[in-house]
């Protein structure tokens, strides 16, 4: 089993469907790491171990996961769809511009509706164009959108920065999006 497969499995359980293995997560997204190991399904016939999880968490390119200081709990930092997880993020003034990577086939709809969270709780934004580009490739031909974050903030939109530097906002109306990058 590759690190990517395990990371995807952990994302699925910790962001979206803890109930799939009857794992209890609190509103900040934390669940007991030993319970996770015990209840998790084998991936390609291999059972998760503490060492594997620790390696994945350490190597995660996007720092998706966090293990508590006492080593007992684990959570996904952001990206949740599960409504029982309502993380409290730090509200912050964003940089002047943020980026969002999407696929060209979504552009017509985004031009009409703006950016919406779809299945997740927030629209995900980044300070890094390269990250936005690679995020966009997940769904097709990538397109980077530039978000006028300062203008939004001035108009009262609340921005949050997750511990892994992903920026979160509830929605982005079209007027704050530049499509011509």
Q: According to the binding rule CB under 6 A, does residue 69 interact with ligand HQG?
A: no
118: left (phi over 0), alpha (psi -120 to 50) or beta: left
Q: Please state the closest distance from residue 112 (CB atom) to ligand HQG, in A.
A: 7
Total of chain residues touching ligand HQG, rule CB under 6 A: 19
38 vs 163, which CB is nearer to ligand HQG?
163
Q: Which tokens go with 34?
A: 């030993």
SS3 81: coil
By CB under 6 A, residue 29 contacts ligand HQG: no
Q: How far is the CB of 65 from ligand HQG (least distance, A)?
A: 9
Residue 128 found at the interface with ligand HQG (CB under 6 A): no
Q: Which residue has the tokens 């203008």?
A: 151
All residues at 6 or more sequence positions from 146 whose CB lies less than 8 Å from its CB, including other chains: 97, 98, 99, 177, 178, 181
Q: Is 63 left (phi over 0), alpha (psi -120 to 50) or beta?
A: left
Of these, 9, 12, 97, 139, which contacts ligand HQG (CB under 6 A)? 139
Separation between Cα atoms, residue 134 and residue 119, nearest integer Å: 20
Binding of residue 174 to ligand HQG (CB under 6 A): no
Does residue 109 interact with ligand HQG by CB under 6 A? yes
Classified as helix, coil or strand, 38 is helix
Candidate ranges 21-29, 48-56, 87-95, 100-108; the one touching ligand HQG (CB under 6 A): 100-108
The residue ranges that bind ligand HQG (CB under 6 A) are 11, 62, 64, 79, 102-103, 106, 109-110, 113, 115-116, 118-120, 124, 135, 139, 166
């Amino acid at each position: 089993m590759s690190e990517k497969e395990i990371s995807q499995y952990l994302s699925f359980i910790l962001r979206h469907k803890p109930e799939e293995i009857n794992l209890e997560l609190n509103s900040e997204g934390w669940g007991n790491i030993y319970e996770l190991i015990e209840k998790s399904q084998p991936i390609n016939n291999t059972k998760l171990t503490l060492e594997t999880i620790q390696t994945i968490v350490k190597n995660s390119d996007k720092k998706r996961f966090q293990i508590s200081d006492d080593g007992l709990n684990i959570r996904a930092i952001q990206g949740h769809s599960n409504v029982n997880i309502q993380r409290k993020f730090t509200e912050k003034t964003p940089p002047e511009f943020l980026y969002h990577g999407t696929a060209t086939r979504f552009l017509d709809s985004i031009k009409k509706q703006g950016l919406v969270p779809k299945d997740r709780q927030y629209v995900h934004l980044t300070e890094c164009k390269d990250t936005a580009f690679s995020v966009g490739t997940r769904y097709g031909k990538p397109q980077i959108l530039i978000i006028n974050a300062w203008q939004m903030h001035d108009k009262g939109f609340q921005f949050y920065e997750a511990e892994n530097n992903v920026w979160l906002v509830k929605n982005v109306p079209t007027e704050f999006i530049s499509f011509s990058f």
